[in-house]
Structure 1
Amino acid sequence: MLVREVMTPQVEWITPDVSLVDAASKMRDRGIGCLPVGENDRLIGMLTDRDICCRAVADGADPKTTKARDVMTKGITWCFDDEDISDAVHRMEEKQIHHFPVLSRQKRMIGVLSLSDLALKCPPDLFPEVSRLAGRDASRQVAH
């Protein structure tokens, strides 16, 4: 199975100067947990709901004036749409991330592969890895 068969297509970008309030509103309205951040037609980061909560709000940043670039995750890990889904899942588990930008071979972002996509659509033989990836957050909750 290929990444393109599991990913969520039609991804919207935000610019790095979008306020966290606007980004959070967009996430809420679309029922998503992350937004790719782009500048000059290049992917420069990912802003997740966790970034907003843990890197901004928890540290007392004003979500009305704080920009996406201030708290986004930099150093993007991504996958290609024609990659085998098992390779992408292995990298997600290795890097402990829940959202992967999906690129075409022309290096255009065409989707996002999320933990939710995997939970709903991945082949049964990958369930143990997907479960470990999801369990990372669950184990943190038990420890606290």
Structure 2
Amino acid sequence: MLVEEVMTKGIRIAEADEKIAHAAKKMRTQNIGALPVIDNHKLVGMLTDRDIAIRAVGANKDLSETTVRDVMSEECFWCSASEDLEDAVRIMEQNRVRRLPVMNKQQEIIGMLSLEDVALYAPASLTGEVLKAVANREYEIVAT
């Protein structure tokens, strides 16, 4: 099974210089928790609801002035639409991520592969492996 057969199509994106308030409204309207971030048509990061909560709201930043670039996660993993689903799941496991932007041959974002997509279409054993890998995160607790 290929990624393009199970991915979510019609993806929303955020521009790196877009204001956080605007990106958050997109996320609320679409009921999504992450947006791939582009700059000059190139994938440069991911913006998650957690990034907004921790790096913007938690840091008392002005959401109408702070840009996506200021709070996004710069390390971003992705997969190809023509890639085997199992290979894409391995990327998710190895990097402990819940979502992967999906690229076409021209390196354009055409969809998103999420844990939910994997759970719906992949064998239960594969779903369990990636869920266990992603859920086994260690967080640093920072005293304030």
- Name the TM-score, length of structure 2 as normaliser: 0.86
- The alignment's C-alpha RMSD in Å is 1.8
3-state SS, counterpart of residue 111 of structure 1: strand
1:123 shift after superposition: 2.5
Q: Which residue of 1 is the match for residue 142 of structure 2?
A: none
Native 8 Å contact 2:92 2:134 kept in 1 = no
Match of 2:106 in 1: 106
Local SS of the residue matching 1:110: strand
Q: Which amino acid aligns with 1:120?
A: L
Which residue of structure 2 aligns with residue 128 of structure 1? 128
C-alpha distance in structure 2 between counterparts of 1:31 and 1:16, whole Å: 20
**124-133 or 3-12, which deviates more:** 124-133
Deviation at 1:120, TM superposition (A): 2.4
- The answer to whether the 8 Å contact 1:119/1:130 transfers is no
Paired with 1:6 and 1:47, the residues of 2 have a C-alpha distance of 22
Q: CA deviation at 1:130?
A: 2.9
Looking at structure 1, the residues matched to 108 and 124 of structure 2 have their Cα atoms a distance apart, in angstroms, of: 29
Aligned to 1:23: 23
Distance in structure 1 (CA, Å) of the matches to 2:54 and 2:115: 19
The whole-number CA distance in structure 1 between the counterparts of 2:63 and 2:77 is: 26
Q: Aligned residues, how many? A: 139
Counterpart residue identity of residue 121, structure 1: Y
How far does residue 134 in structure 1 lie from its aligned partner after superposition?
A: 5.0
Q: TM-score, normalised by structure 1?
A: 0.86
Partner of 2:39: 39
Tell me how far apart the structure 1 counterparts of residues 42 and 116 of structure 2 sit (CA, whole Å): 25
The answer to whether the Cα contact below 8 Å between 1:20 and 1:63 also exists between their aligned partners in 2 is: yes
Q: Distance in 1 between matches of 2:57 and 2:9?
A: 29
Cα offset for 1:69? Answer: 0.5
Query: 1:51-87 CA deviation, whole Å, 9 max, x = no partner?
Result: 1112221222222221100011113211101111111
Unaligned runs of 5+ in 1: none
Question: Is the 8 Å Cα contact of residues 8 and 113 (structure 1) preserved in structure 2?
Answer: yes
For residue 9 of structure 1, report the CA deviation from its aligned partner.
0.9
Q: Please give the secondary structure, in 2, of the residue aligned with 1:38.
A: strand
Identify unmatched segments of 5+ residues in structure 2.
140-144
